[in-house]
Every structure is written in C-alpha cells, then in structure tokens.
Structure 1
Amino acid sequence: MPGYLDAVEQRRKELFAEINEMFENTPLMKHLVTGDMIFVNAKDKYDPEMAKIKYTIISESERQPNWGESLPKCFIPLELEFASLISRGIPLITLEHLTKINSLQPIRPLSETELKIFLKFQHSIGKVLYFDEHKLKKHIILSPTHLIDAFKSIVTDKRFCEGDKKREELWNVMEKTGVISKSVIHHVWKNKKYAKFDKNKEYLLDVMTHLDILVEPKRYDSAGKSIPAELYYVASMVRAEDDSGYLQSADFINRSITIAFQSSSLMIPPALSFRLISYCLYVWAVKTFGEKNKDMLFHKAGVFIIDPSLEMHIQCEDEMVIARLVHARTNTLIMRDLASSINECLTSALEKISQLYIRTSSDQCHDDKCKPGCTGIVFRFDIAV
C-alpha cells in the first residue's frame, strides 16, 4: 500500500509539473487553479480529494465579482418551484406552463417583463436555459444537463455507442461524412433509453441548430422556394482528412488568393473552429467531388461554393484560420468587392463566436482602448495573392 501511495504522489507531481510547464509565461496561467494539486480517483466515490474540489469551487465562487449581490425576493418563489419540478423529474417546461405557475403565486406574481428578466438572469448564471429567440422562446430547460444528455445521445465518443448497433452506424457515418439524417435521430430517440428527448424533439433540435451543434443545410427548388432538408451537418464529428488533392490541383496557386486570420491568443479553441465551419455550412453549399458526389467536408476544413466560378477553402489550424478563394480560371478574375465581403463575413463570424469563450488576458486586453467584453481571442488578417 505505501508503495502504491508513493506512486500516486509521484504521478501527481509529474502531471502538475507538466501542466505548469505547458502554460508558464502565457496569459492562461492566471486562470489555472493548481495550487492544491487535486488528483481524483474516479473509481472511488468516497475519495477525500473530492472534498478539496468542493472547497476550491466554493472559494473561487466567493471571489467572483457578483458574489454576495442582493437578489429580488420575488424571484425566490419561482426558484423554489423550479427546484420542485426538477426533483419530480421534469427537466423542461413551456413558457405557458411557467406563466400559469407564476399567476398562482400567493404573494405577488411577476409581471410579463419581470418574468423575462427573471428567466434571462437564471440563464446568465447557468441555472436554467432560456433562449429568447424565434422558435425557442416558448420553452425553458430547467435542468441544463437535460440538454447536454440530448447532445450526447447524438454527438458523442464512439466508445459510448458500443453495443448499440444503430448508434454505432450513426457514429461511423458522421465520422466519415459529417452528416446525420433526421430520420436516424428520431429512430435513436424512440429508444427507451432516450425516449425523454422524443417528447420535445423539435425544440431540442432547434436548440442544437441555434448553438451550431447541428447545421441544417439550405435547399431551394427551381423557383427559389426553400425546401426542408432531411439531414444535418455535424462539423465537430468529422474525422476524415482531405485526401482529394484539391490544394494540389492544376494551377491552384494562380487561381487562388489567401486570407489568413491570425489569433492573438495562445491557440484557437477547437470548438471555435467547429463553429466557424458550421457557420460556413449554414451560409454556403459544400462542394462535392468524385463519381459519388462526396461532400468536401473534412476535420476542421471544407470547400464551399460561392458562385459557379468561385469556391472557398477553409482550413482551421491551431493558431490561425486560412481561407482560400479559388477561381475556376485565374485569381485576377476574383472581384475585389466580393473578396472584401467574404472577408467581412468571416471576420464578423469569428468575432461573434469568440465572444462565447471565457475572457482571457492578452496584450490587447492590457491596452487602455480594449473594449468591454473583450474575449482575449483577437483576430487580425492578411491577404496574399
């Protein structure tokens, strides 16, 4: 036993030494809480290290700027109602249901405006999920883990699909093509294990689409009328590498110009790359190639059709995003205004996506002109012919 404990302590020190070396002299170091070197045995639910985690979380919470702020007393009855619903196994309700609960409050029901403020506040602190958006604002997710579990039933690691033939097939298809059909999702959610998602399937899928977990491609008929797609793209699941030879095609250099978006932070989070690819999937159609018309969608990369004579190759690397505009004949025919518009679209998308990530310090953030809400993930771009 003493030998085992010595080995654990040695491994603890090695791991934390590696972590400190990895982030030393970077803006991220100040965000790491490694002083106690917490090393949890996940196989032991009584592991005393869990008490250290609880203490650390509480200590960090008390240091947050909004700790100890006063809250309206009129919020408390609805918070208690939410806790009661969750304890009864109800993770999601409609806004109509909440309005009814609110109207039955004995002291003072919230007004419609106050109710919206209450929901947005609860959302901001992570207690509930409420999206005041078209098609989403009629539901409230009382337990955020319900949404996470819905995600995991579709977007997950292969090992969690073992033994479920249908989900294994689903995973294999997504890994190769990044595509999942709506019918397959409905089939999975008909399974007893995931039946709890089927009741509100349209809403949950709309939330996944809103968060760019799933992307519904745009389809139009000959008259320009929108046609509902029977599939979703899942950019984060694609593992296929680009073996098409597209970048090595004839006269590629003479037919293309490159726009490079360089990150000011240590690295670009993988989730940001996946969301950028999802954004492109939403805006532009994916190029197909080969006899089987295979989509040119790869791991953190893809080729999109801008117009009949112009394509765009997007490649997300650890420290930069590279966008290549490729003309069918020569790069001299790429219109400057169009290239500028595409650059503005990508810049705006990167800025909006980066706002979702935790604010980190950087050289830009120490600038007196740094704007409130700066994420620390700042992009600058260069255009090369």
Structure 2
Amino acid sequence: MTSIGDLSSKCFGGNKEKITQIGDVLKFYHDIGVLLYFNDNNMSETVIIDIQWFIDSFKNIITDPNHARDIVENYTDWWNFYESGHILDRLLTDIWSTRRFEVSFWDRHQEKTNLLQYMQRLGLIAVGADAHYIPCMNKRAFGIEEENYFRSLHSKTSVLVFKFQFLPFFFYYRLIVACLTRTNREWRVLKDNGLCLYKNVACFDYRQHVVALAVNNSSIQLQIFQPTNVLVMKEVALKVRNTVESLLKDLLGNFHKKIDIYTVGYQCCKQEVFREHDDCFLEEKDICRKGKITCPMHGMINHHVICESSLLVYWKLDVIADISDLDDFLEQDECTNLSESELSNVNFKTFEKLTKIGRDALQLYFDRIFPPVDLVTTLTLNKDSLQRGQKFGKLVQSAKKGSEKESAQNDEVSNKELKELFSDLIQKLESSMNERLTALDKKVEETLIVIKEEITDMKTALQNQDDRLTDLEKLKHRGLPKNPNSSYKPEAPEAVIVKFVLMEDRNMILNHARNTTLPKGYAIRTDLPVHLKRKRAELAQKAYRTQEIRNEDENP
C-alpha cells in the first residue's frame, strides 16, 4: 500500500500534467485487476499495488482451530470470533503481529485503518470501533426459539423474495456488510443476549420495526415484523425494499452480466423468511392486478386462494389494503373479560359514554380511509371525538373504578396538544388521500386504455358486418335470368346455387332472409328444389347402369 502522492512522484517525477492523469491510470489498472484503487472520499489518497499482500492480510484472519493456538494468546476471544464472526480489534492486531504481517506505511495504525477500509469496501468486513464483523466466519444457527418468536408475531409483511439464477453465498455476506455500513446508521443490528446476526439470517431494527434478511440456495428473502403487533407502516416497508434493491443493484454492478439477473416474487402461503420454500414462489408479475385467484402453484391437494392485496400491500405503492385483511389482527385474546364483582363496580353511565366515543372513533377511522371533500370541516366537527379518543385508556380505568370525577379530569386536553393532534392528523390524512388518488388515477387510465381497445374491436366487427349486409343487398337486387325451358316452373328464374366457405356467412344470410320479406317468387333454401332432386336421381340412375354395362363387357 502506498500513497497517491508518492506513487505520482516515482512514476512522473515533477510533470504536473501527467500527475493530474494519475486517477485515470489507476482506474484502468484497477479494472483489469492489477491493483486496488477506489476513488472514494476516504480512500482516494491510497492505492494497493500488491494484490497478493492484500489477500494475505485477509487470509491470516480466517484461520481454523488447528492453527489458532499458535497465533493468539487469548484462545477464548478467538473461539468467539470463530463461532460468531465478531473479532475484537486487539485480537486482529495480535493475529497480524504474530503472523509477522508487514504493516509499515506511515505508521502502523494508519495503514491498518486504510487496509480495513479496503476490506469493508469489498464487503469482506464491517469495521467497528472496538470490534469488527466478518460474515463468512459466522456459524451461529437460527434456532427453534428464534423461529417460534417470528411465528408468534401477527403483524408482519409477506415474504419478498429475490430469486437468482445463480447466487454465490458470499454475495449475501456483501449485502449484510452493505446494510451495516451504507444505510446512514439507520439500520441497527437487533440485540437479544448478543447481536442477532446468524449464518443465514440477519435481523435489523429500523424505525421500531424488525427487518429480517435471509439467504438460501437460490434466493435472498426479506420480511418485516412489528413486535408490538400494531400494523406495519407501509412507508417503512417501501423504504426498506428500495434500500435493499438499491444495494443489490450496486453490488451486482461488479459481476458479469449473465449472473446479475434475479426475479422478484413472494411466498404464496408459508410466509417464513427463515425457510426456503421453492414450491411456494410466485413471481410479482403473475400477481399484480389479478385480485383473488387460485394459487398457480397449488391447484389440487394444497389448493388455496391468494389475494393480491395481502401479498403486495406493503411492497407496492399502488396496491391498497382490503379491509378484510385486517381480521388477522383482531385476536380474541385482546378482549377484556370482567368478573361479576368487577361488573358491580362499573359505572354504566361512564360506560355508555365510552361506547359513544368508540362509535365516533370508528366513524372517524372510516373517514380517514375515505376522506370527505372538506377535510378541515370534518376534523372540526369531530373535535370532541378526537379529544376524548386521546384519553381513551384513562377513561377505561375510570369506568372500572366507577369514578366519574376522575374521568372528567383525565378527559381534559390542552389547546396545544389538540393543535398538535389536529396538525398530525391532517398531514397523515392528506398523505393517505394523495396516495389513494394517485393509485386510482393510474387504474382509471389503464381501464380507459382497455375500453378504447375494446371499442376499436367492436367498430371493426360492426364494419365487417355492414360490409356483409351490403353484399347481401347486392345479391338480393341482382337481375337473375329466367329459364323458359324449365319443366318445373317456366316462369321462375333460374336457381342460383351458392357454396359458402364460412358457415357464419351462410347463417347470416339465412337469418337476414327470415327477417326480410323477399320478392314474390323468390325463396332461399338449404337444399335442392324438387325438380333438381329428380334430375339428380335420373343422372345417378344412368351412371349406375352405365357402370354395370362396363363391368359386363370387361367380365363376359
């Protein structure tokens, strides 16, 4: 490793014109694999000119138990690193010192810092202050307790799946390092008796939501949970998806084009981010705008119906939740059961008051989903409901204790609190209304396009029908020559025999004839007239006799 200044002096001397081109030269040699150079703010002043030296620096860290006793003094710290991937900074320094790894540029601390930055930039390690994380060394399994905890959470999104044609496992390691280092510290590793980072699952805390990223043989899976069992915020889910897709796009830019293809989809029924369910994968394009359909993957024994809104509501901006989807969050265990002694202490006058508040709050909830035209007026009219709703929990306690006086005191809200509440509600309602209007406009535009195409097809069909009727009218009024030698009706016109290629043309003419009065003496038949049938029989009899005579002559 050397500095850009020293390298420029050695290569170009005092030629200032060439020194300004050093960045382009280094980028070229980096692209062809001769050296390592990144034009980032904190790395643009150094370059690694010995690739093998860099490889050895990382190789010396990922040792096995057979060699660890010879290179570290504190075997316990090393074993913790071997199991979890978390390495103390002092242990890293001891390993490099014991291995006699050369760190001599500027000073030992500066070169070590620069070397770790290169490793982090390549997704090999997440650098911390006193400890670092190397994902490829993590051997912790995501156990049964962790799985049961995720299963117990009712408020969660569907499992978003990024399915790859070819997925190197180290690519997932690079993604985890990117989540730790390139999310502006908004994603924090979840802690529960240690960091919740496992061999194939990583759990993050983002805006009081649990974000789980998992990997299996061919896909990376994403799911968001809300531990408090309130509804997952859609804006959080959209932001998380955008972040992960952005990181994937950036990481895939370093690979060959043939392996950077992945398909976005969902688990149709299992919804377990920590498990691989290849038989449950549905592509996103096969679900969008389909509503409720039979699962294309399970049509018989495991037959079930999938709903577009339940799978896509959190991950797609234009998908609106179905109210029936909220039934999963209404658990019977959340109801409060009162004994007879508790019922005797209930102040029913206050209880009726609470019932009215709940009814008004429910109406206000539907007003939020379907906002009226005059939003400000509605909020003003519901001022009392909003004010009481903020103190609903305290009123429940006062109802149990039978204290109306305490209810009235808890029911008071300052003007400042009410103003903040109104401002917050107005912002949320306007944002919700704008999202729904945008989605509605998009659906209306798509519907209009479909209607226009159908109208065009109908016009084409009608035009074809008119053309056929015009041809029929010409046939109807055509002058037909009479046949004076006919023994059937000498005064009748000669019969016109028509053979149709398309049956629909024949049926159209017959239908038109039934609804139209033909001129006297004209008729449309689907068989031959009687005299022509008689003539056909005579010709057939003559042909038969001629064939018999021929056979007798050939076989006397």
Short-chain TM bin? 0.5 to 0.7
Q: Secondary structure at the match of 1:333?
A: coil
In the TM superposition, residue 180 of structure 1 has moved relative to its aligned partner by 1.1
In the TM superposition, residue 244 of structure 1 has moved relative to its aligned partner by 5.8
Residue 178 to residue 258, structure 1, CA distance change in 2 (3 Å): farther
Read off the aligned partner of 1:206 and give its amino acid letter: Q
Q: Give the corresponding residue for 1:211.
A: 122
Matches within 5 A, 1:1-385: 92-104=1-13, 111-161=18-68, 163-166=70-73, 169=76, 171-191=78-98, 193-196=100-103, 199=108, 200-216=111-127, 229-243=129-143, 245-249=145-149, 252=152, 254-265=154-165, 267-282=166-181, 283=183, 284-289=187-192, 293-308=193-208, 310-330=209-229, 333-360=231-258, 375-382=259-266, 384=311
Give, in whole Å, the separation in 1 of the partners of 2:216 and 2:256: 20
Give, in whole Å, the separation in 2 of the partners of 1:190 and 1:378: 43
More strand by share: 1
Residue 165 to residue 192, structure 1, CA distance change in 2 (3 Å): closer
Q: Secondary structure at the match of 1:194?
A: coil
Read off the aligned partner of 1:341 and give its amino acid letter: K
1:71-123 CA distance string (max 9 Å, x none):
xxxxxxxxxxxxxxxxxxxxx22111112113438xx7752332211111111
CA contact (8 A) 2:207 2:236 kept: no
Unaligned runs of 5+ in 1: 1-91, 218-228, 361-374
CA contact (8 A) 2:141 2:199 kept: yes
Q: Give the corresponding residue for 1:22.
A: none
Q: Secondary structure at the match of 1:249?
A: helix
Give, in whole Å, the separation in 2 of the partners of 1:141 and 1:120: 12
Give, in whole Å, the separation in 2 of the partners of 1:315 and 1:213: 18
Larger Rg: 2
**With CA pairs under 8 Å and 6+ residues apart, which has the higher RCO, 1 or 2?**
1
Q: Give the corresponding residue for 2:380.
A: none
Give, in whole Å, the separation in 2 of the partners of 1:170 and 1:205: 20
In the TM superposition, residue 250 of structure 1 has moved relative to its aligned partner by 7.3
Over the matched positions of the two proteins, sequence identity in percent amounts to: 19
In the TM superposition, residue 146 of structure 1 has moved relative to its aligned partner by 0.9
Give, in whole Å, the separation in 1 of the partners of 2:161 and 2:228: 25
Residue 101 to residue 166, structure 1, CA distance change in 2 (3 Å): same
Read off the aligned partner of 1:257 and give its amino acid letter: T
Give, in whole Å, the separation in 2 of the partners of 1:123 and 1:302: 32
TM-score, length basis structure 1: 0.61
More helix by share: 2
CA contact (8 A) 1:174 1:237 kept: yes
Residue 141 to residue 251, structure 1, CA distance change in 2 (3 Å): closer
Read off the aligned partner of 1:281 and give its amino acid letter: L
Q: Secondary structure at the match of 2:206?
A: strand
TM-score, length basis structure 2: 0.43
CA contact (8 A) 2:12 2:18 kept: no
Residue 208 to residue 250, structure 1, CA distance change in 2 (3 Å): closer
Unaligned runs of 5+ in 2: 268-310, 313-556
